[in-house]
Chains A and B, each alone.
Chain A
Amino acid sequence: MKRFSPGKLTLPTYSFLAMAFMLIPIVYTIVFSFNDSSQRTNTEWQGFTLDKWFGVCAKPDVCQALGNSIFIGVVSTLIATVLGTALAIGLVRYRFRARSLVNLALFLPMATPEVVLGAGLAGLFFNAGVGAGMTTVIIAHVVFCLSFVVVTVKARVQTLDPVLEEAGRDLYANPTQVFWKITFPLLLPGIISAALLSFSLSFDDFIITYFNSGSVETFPKYVYVAAARGVPAEANVIASAVFLAAILIVLGTQINGAIKRKRLARK
């Protein structure tokens, strides 16, 4: 029963409109990174310029904050990815009694409002006499990145056929070889997505960072403070550049994956 009816167009039209709505502030932010705003604020369109892109560090504090955010993002992603990948493998591959308790323990950090975790950690560090700074921010970021890494890698481990690893063992590979030659390469796409997600969560975090960073500037902190008097176009440049880089990586992996699946399907 293939008939043309306007009703069939409602859902696609709605979906594309909804997507367009979601993209409005993104387009706005990117467009205003090209705004020739001579004053501090970047609220009205003054004309097109590339100056802000080529002179991002004209406002050194923006670049300093960006550098800190990248450093914090990379270090906390590394720690969270290692801990989270191990947890994901353990959870999928082994049956043990406390499984549901472990599931719950991993879900709760995702379900905890940032302000609660932020205040809790700040109180803990304060009581322990640890001054807020780079270390405390990284410790805090690992907490909320960890669960998201587990979720993402877990999905990948579930698609992994244990027969492949058994085959490796049958061919006299020791457990280390099995892991690095078979398990790890097969999990890699999942681990990369997890690391990307973790980095973007860390890079964009404001509330938990605000409670635990002391005098360390991060990019979101810079934007938050600047919001009171007007955010300079340089901040838009940084956000746009990060966005474009991330979207290219994600698009690349997704298209690559889709092409591979298509090829497999044809065979």
Chain B
Amino acid sequence: MAFAAFGSSPAKEHKSPTKSSKIVLALLMPGLVYLGLFFFTPLFSLVVTSLEVPAASGGIGEYEYGFAWENYVTAFTTYLPQILRSFMYATIATVIALLISYPLAYFIGVKLRTRPLLQRLMLVLVIAPFFISFLLRTIAWKQIFSDGGAIMQTIYSLGLMDKSEHFLGTDAAVIFGLTYNFIPFMTLPLFTTLERFDVRLLEAGSDLYASPAKVFRKVTLPLSMPGIISGTLLVFIPIAGDYVNAGQNFLGSSKTSMIGTIVDSEFLQTQDYPIASSLSVMLMAVIVALVGLYVRSSGTDDLL
């Protein structure tokens, strides 16, 4: 899927005969056991922790096994604003990232086919942000949009914003940062899909007197769906769980806290593990549901 573009150009798949099950086990088991221990067990442990009750001893950060499902009610009602904000940010940023990435991926995947070297170069530029610290990139935007910076000074002098207003710390600034940081995760799967797109279908469409807009709507767009869906998953999910962009030392303020902000503070500062865990479980439940929808529509072979 997404990162196939990173490895090598996709070629035709060779069907292979079934071989002995011992080799399969030897190849798969170490990795799967690792995931079982350090991925699935922690998720299960989150569910257990989310139902715990304060210990009888009453110490801070001390809890014992219980079945306090009301932790979920507390977490949900207390942090509803953060939950709604997280999904609102994720939805808006995903849509903008798709709108920005699609023409770019189309250009690299379809128009640049005749120039493989330039195509490779553009792909490297698309993934270039991965190689420089995510935190420093975000701090760079923060400084670019600071009140004393050239951009804000221009906006102030043109009277587009009052000097008492700031861009940093607003919803827009956080959405801007989230969109920027996750654009490559949208562009790559779109590219992988569009690279295989058969351009003769476009000619067929226009030969049948469809307008360019209609060809796009009836041919290009439906065939881009696998890329659009996996790009959406790869962008929406990490954004819903991110809290660095929204942080007060980055692009956000106290008014932009997200689910992650709360999990971080409840877990690492307040040590209210059950509440932090129930928020995490709720977030994970939404994501499992989204992945489930994807699997139902596309199967699991295109997942990876």
Contacts and interface: CB of A to CB of B under 8 A. Distances in A.
Interface in A140-182: 140, 142-143, 146-148, 150-156, 158-163
Interface string A234-255: 0110011011001100110011
Contact of B8 (A143, A189, A242): A189
A4 interface: no
Contacts of B111: 11-12
Nearest to A204: B134
Nearest to A136: B38
B8 A146 contact: no
Given A19-B122, A124-B41, A152 B131 contact: no
Contacts of A224: 135, 244, 249
Given A11-B111, A120-B43, A159-B10, A114 B241 contact: yes
Given A102-B32, A108-B39, A114 B238 contact: yes
A197 B3 CA distance: 9
Interface of A is mostly: helix
Nearest to A19: B125
A176 to B, nearest CB: 12
B120 A117 contact: no
Contact of B35 (A14, A106, A162): A106
B146 interface: yes
A107 interface: yes
B2 A113 contact: no
A103 B303 contact: yes
A223 to B, nearest CB: 4
A227 B28 contact: no
A59 interface: no
Given A23-B128, A94-B24, A239-B136, A254 B100 contact: no
B178 interface: no
Interface stretch (B167-175, B215-223, B280-288): B280-288
B285 to A, nearest CB: 10
Most chain B CB inside 10 Å of its own CB: which residue of A105, A119, A142, A194: A119
Contact of A190 (B8, B103, B300): B8
Task: Give the interface size bracket for A toward B.
Answer: 35 or more
A84 interface: yes
A105 B43 CA distance: 13
A127 to B, nearest CB: 6
Given A96-B24, A219-B133, A239-B132, A15 B39 contact: no
A100 interface: yes
Chain B: interface size category = 35 or more
Given A93-B19, A243-B131, A246-B131, A107 B291 contact: yes
Interface string B29-42: 01110110011111
B180 interface: yes
A120 B50 CA distance: 11
B42 A123 contact: yes
A251 B120 CA distance: 8
A121 B42 contact: yes
Contacts of B184: 22
B267 interface: yes
B104 A18 contact: yes
A189 B35 CA distance: 25
B286 to A, nearest CB: 10
B23 interface: yes
Most buried by A among B3, B40, B273: B3
Given A100-B300, A143-B39, A235 B136 contact: yes
Contacts of A240: 132
A85 B186 CA distance: 25
B69 interface: no
Given A22-B126, A93-B19, A211-B268, A111 B24 contact: no
Interface in A1-58: 11-12, 14-15, 18-19, 22-26, 28-29, 32, 43-44
Nearest to B282: A116
A28 B144 CA distance: 9
Interface of B: 1-4, 6-14, 16-19, 21, 23-24, 26-28, 30-32, 34-35, 38-43, 45-46, 49, 100, 103-104, 106-108, 111, 116-117, 120-141, 143-144, 146, 148, 180, 183-184, 233-234, 237-238, 240-244, 247, 249-250, 259-260, 263-264, 267-268, 273, 276-277, 280, 283-284, 287-288, 290-291, 295, 299-301, 303-304
Q: Which 4 A-B pairs have the closest CB atoms?
A: A113-B241, A120-B42, A90-B27, A25-B140
26 contacts: A19-B126, A22-B183, A22-B184, A24-B144, A26-B128, A87-B27, A103-B301, A107-B304, A110-B234, A111-B291, A112-B237, A113-B287, A114-B260, A115-B242, A119-B280, A120-B46, A152-B7, A156-B8, A158-B11, A158-B13, A159-B12, A160-B14, A190-B8, A206-B244, A250-B124, A261-B116
